[in-house]
Amino acid sequence: MKNFINTITQGDCLDLIKQVPDNSINSIITDPPYFLGVTHNGQKGEYSDLLIMKPFFQALFYEFKRILKSDGCVYLCCDFRTYPFLYPIFDEYITMRNLLVWDKKSGPGNFYSFVHEFVIFGMDKPKDMHGLNIFTLKSFSSGAKATNGEKLHPTQKPIELFEKFILDSTKEGDLVCDPFAGSGTLAIAAIKTKRNYICFELQDKYVKIATERIELFKGNMNPKIDNFKITPNLFN
Ligand X SMILES: C[S@@+](CC[C@H](N)C(=O)[O-])C[C@H]1O[C@@H](n2cnc3c(N)ncnc32)[C@H](O)[C@@H]1O
Residues at the site binding ligand X, with contacts judged by CB under 6 A: 12-14, 31, 33, 153, 155-157, 179-180, 182-183, 185, 200-203, 206
Whether the Cβ atoms of residue 82 and residue 57 lie closer than 8 Å to each other: no
Q: Which CB, 6 or 156, lies closer to ligand X? A: 156
Q: Which CB, 137 or 231, lies closer to ligand X? A: 137
CB-based contacts of 146, cutoff 8 Å, min separation 6: 137, 139, 140, 158, 160
In angstroms, give the least distance from the CB of 181 to ligand X.
6
Q: Which CB, 77 or 123, lies closer to ligand X? A: 77
The maximal CA–CA distance of the chain, rounded, in angstroms, is 55
Q: What is the C-alpha to C-alpha distance for residues 87 and 101, in angstroms, rounded to an integer?
A: 15
Q: Which CB, 95 or 135, lies closer to ligand X? A: 135
In angstroms, give the least distance from the CB of 201 to ligand X.
5
In angstroms, give the least distance from the CB of 199 to ligand X.
9
Q: Which CB, 106 or 155, lies closer to ligand X? A: 155
Residue 26 buriedness (CB in 10 A; 0-12 / 13-18 / 19+): buried
Q: Which CB, 11 or 173, lies closer to ligand X? A: 11
Q: What is the C-alpha to C-alpha distance for residues 44 and 36, in angstroms, rounded to an integer?
A: 9
Closest C-alpha to 217, from 183, 169, 178, 181 = 183
- Give the residue ranges of DSSP H helices in 68-153: 82-93
In angstroms, give the least distance from the CB of 228 to ligand X.
22
In angstroms, give the least distance from the CB of 63 to ligand X.
12
Ranked by CB distance to ligand X, the top (closest) residue is: 182
In angstroms, give the least distance from the CB of 144 to ligand X.
19
Supply φ then ψ for residue 229, to 5 degrees. Answer: -100, 135
